[in-house]
């Protein structure tokens, strides 16, 4: 994977914005395996648009056109949204004013969770009745007798299209008809020579007038719309950012261009925006508190707590130190001095006692604090303890059920919960066990045992969070910044 180069300007623009418009084209679905239209492997290189995507083509040979759309529906139905689609859906949840304008008809944005969306070219998954004008949803399959059978037609489509002899398309099922009125159905897709819906365009142009940032992703500008949208938005003062593998008709209007694959650029761009947003919040709380800010990151095993902690430290720099939860180990002498030896046999784990002590010490003192770290693998204290120097403004601690213990919860100034998509957490934990040498079967058993032990405490912890971060296929998104 080529390292993604993203300018700070784009990250800053997205961190400061609260009104964002995203315009997408076929390129955002390329990494889901769906061919684009132009370029080396483009659909219009292998098929003739005028035979397949015009009103005249449908009038001339409606069956062929339906077979073409069946073939594409079959292809798109098997494809999965890629990380770029998930980031666009995460942006919709994050920005108060957001609109997705997509030229794509493949349905992947809605399958990734996008809702505030305008499909300016319609959708493969809808059909329109030529008689009454109603639009009907199409199932994830293709047609036979007006009902749906999955794309058996695709081989016929390929053959008759290759022979480019529509008249030869074999005897096919009757055309799909509208159950309500018996009218003939056509794909609810905008064809060449047809006009955009005025109301839809009005919604798009209104959103562009107010947008602070417009991302234009994976479109060649082969049809004029994205170029017109970029020109209008730029005129209205928005920052135009193009994400594409090559220069296009849009490029001259872009303030910034991020060159590469959308599926790689968007997750990295979004991670940097979210970590930046979080560190803004942390610094603001640090100023408000005027001393050492104790930050806790909790979440289920495999959620990515340590990765998030390290990402925050990378931005906060030398002012921050990360203290791993299960790294603590206090010798008995220290416990005796604090009158806690008796609790050592208590049901809670030894980590818990050590953790309480460490957080309490780090919180209470503004002097350097040494923490004897404990290696779980070696089952003994690690020689060089972690020393938290006086100048440390931000102490980041992380653990599965960190906020469960009152002594720790009350000592933390900021509680962040990493709410992870369960499938992602499970995959991370199993992979980690396997990296440690466990077989897949052992790794799964370890995960399931640990997960059972953790589940109720993790959810109890979740309730104490002030900042909720959702981790899914888009990476991290700050879902809620609560409390003062």
Active site residues: 121
Nearer CB in complex with ligand APR: 120/311: 120
Q: Are 482 and 467 in contact (CB under 8 A)?
A: yes
**Interacting residue with ligand APR among 13, 20, 25, 185 (CB under 6 A):** 25
| Strand pairing class (185-189; 122-129) | antiparallel
Phi-psi sector, 88: left (phi>0), alpha (psi -120 to 50), beta: alpha
The interface region with ligand APR, picked from 9-17, 93-101, 257-265, 305-313 by CB under 6 A, is: 257-265
Q: Is residue 31 near ligand APR by the rule CB under 6 A?
A: yes
Q: What are the beta bridge partners of residue 321?
A: 395
67 is a contact residue toward ligand APR (CB under 6 A): no
Identify which of 53, 71, 58, 49 has the alpha carbon closest to the alpha carbon of residue 185.
Answer: 58
Distance CA 254, CA 241 (A): 5
Residue 324 lies near ligand APR (rule: CB under 6 A) = no
Smallest separation (angstroms) from ligand APR to the CB of 219 = 4
Number of residues counted as binding ligand APR (CB under 6 A): 25
Minimum distance from residue 260 beta carbon to ligand APR (Å) = 7
- Residues 307 and 132: their CA atoms lie apart, in Å, by 56
Of the ranges 240-248, 351-359, 401-409, 457-465, which one interacts with ligand APR (CB under 6 A)?
A: 240-248
- What is the Cα–Cα distance from 422 to 435, expressed in whole angstroms? 20
Cα–Cα distance, 473 to 469 (Å, whole number): 13
CA distance 14 to 151: 42
Smallest distance from the beta carbon of 261 to ligand APR, in angstroms? Answer: 4
Phi/psi at 239 (5° precision): -85, 120
Q: How far is the CB of 277 from ligand APR (least distance, A)?
A: 25
Scanning 6-14, 38-46, 128-136, 318-326 for contacts with ligand APR by CB under 6 A, the matching segment is 38-46
Q: How far is the CB of 243 from ligand APR (least distance, A)?
A: 6
116-145 footprint of ligand APR as x/- string (CB under 6 A):
-----x------------------------
User: How far is Cα 141 from Cα 123, in angstroms, rounded to an integer?
Assistant: 14
Smallest distance from the beta carbon of 104 to ligand APR, in angstroms?
6
Q: What share of the chain is helix, strand, coil (3-state, %, to 5)?
A: 45, 20, 35
C-beta of 79 vs 481, nearer to ligand APR: 79
How far apart are CB 435 and ligand APR at their closest, in Å? 30
Backbone angles phi, psi at 149, to 5 degrees: -130, 140
Residue from the set 57, 262, 396, 414 that interacts with ligand APR by CB under 6 A: 262
Segment contacting ligand APR (CB under 6 A): 26-34, 138-146, 313-321, 395-403?
26-34
Q: Does 103 bind ligand APR (CB under 6 A)?
A: yes
CA distance 442 to 329: 28
In DSSP notation, 240-259 reads EEEEESS--TTGGG-SEEEE
What's the rounded Cα separation, in Å, for the pair 479 and 484? 16
- CB nearer to ligand APR: give 34 or 238: 34
Question: Could you tell me which stretch among 25-33, 234-242, 309-317, 408-416 binds ligand APR (CB under 6 A)?
Answer: 25-33
Residue ranges in 165-224 that form contacts with ligand APR under rule CB under 6 A: 218-220, 222-223
116 contacts 137 by C-beta, under 8 angstroms: no
Instruction: Provide the binding-site residues for ligand APR, judged by CB under 6 A.
Output: 25-27, 30-31, 36-39, 42, 103, 121, 218-220, 222-223, 243-246, 248, 261-263
């Amino acid at each position: 994977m080529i390292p993604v180069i993203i300018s700070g300007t784009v990250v800053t623009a997205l961190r400061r914005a609260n009104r964002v418009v995203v315009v997408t084209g076929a390129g955002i679905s390329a990494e889901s395996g769906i061919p684009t239209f132009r370029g080396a492997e483009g659909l219009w290189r292998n098929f003739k648009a005028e035979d397949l995507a015009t009103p005249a083509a449908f009038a001339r040979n409606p069956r062929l056109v339906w077979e073409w759309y069946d073939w594409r529906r079959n292809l798109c139905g098997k494809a999965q949204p890629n990380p770029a689609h998930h980031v666009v859906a995460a942006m919709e949840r994050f920005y108060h004013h957001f609109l997705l304008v997509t030229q794509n008809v493949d349905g992947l944005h809605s399958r990734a969770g996008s809702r505030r969306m305008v499909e300016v070219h319609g959708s493969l998954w809808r059909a329109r009745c030529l008689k009454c004008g109603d639009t009907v949803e199409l199932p994830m399959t293709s047609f036979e007798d007006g009902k749906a059978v999955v794309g058996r037609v695709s081989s016929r489509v390929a053959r008759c299209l290759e022979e480019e002899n529509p008249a030869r398309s074999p005897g096919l099922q009757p055309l799909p008809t509208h159950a309500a009125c018996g009218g003939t159905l056509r794909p609810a897709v905008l064809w060449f020579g047809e006009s955009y819906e005025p109301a839809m365009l009005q919604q798009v142009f209104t959103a562009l007038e107010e947008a602070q940032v417009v991302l234009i992703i994976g479109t060649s500008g082969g049809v004029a719309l994205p170029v017109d949208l970029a020109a209008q938005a730029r005129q209205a003062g928005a920052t135009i950012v193009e994400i594409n593998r090559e220069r296009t008709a849009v490029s001259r209007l872009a303030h910034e261009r991020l060159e590469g694959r959308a599926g790689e650029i968007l997750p990295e761009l979004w991670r940097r925006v979210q970590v930046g947003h979080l560190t803004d919040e942390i610094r603001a709380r640090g100023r408000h508190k005027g001393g050492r800010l104790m930050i806790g990151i909790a979440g289920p095993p495999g959620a990515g707590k340590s990765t998030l902690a390290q990402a925050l430290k990378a931005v906060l720099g030398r002012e921050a130190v990360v203290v791993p939860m299960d790294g603590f180990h206090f010798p008995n002498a220290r416990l005796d001095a604090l009158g806690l030896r008796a609790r050592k046999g208590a049901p809670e784990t030894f980590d818990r006692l050590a953790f309480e002590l460490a957080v309490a010490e780090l919180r209470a003192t503004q002097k350097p604090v040494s923490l004897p770290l404990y290696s779980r693998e070696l089952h003994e204290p690690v020689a060089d303890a972690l020393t938290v120097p006086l100048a440390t403004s931000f102490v980041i601690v992380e653990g599965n059920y960190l906020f469960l213990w009152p002594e720790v919860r009350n000592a933390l100034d900021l509680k962040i919960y990493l709410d992870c998509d369960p499938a992602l957490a499970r995959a991370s934990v199993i992979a980690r066990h396997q990296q440690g040498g466990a077989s897949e079967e052992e790794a799964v058993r370890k995960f399931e045992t640990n997960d059972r032990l953790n589940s109720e405490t993790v959810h109890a912890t979740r309730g104490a969070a002030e900042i909720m971060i959702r981790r899914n296929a888009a990476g991290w998104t700050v879902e809620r910044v609560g409390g003062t």
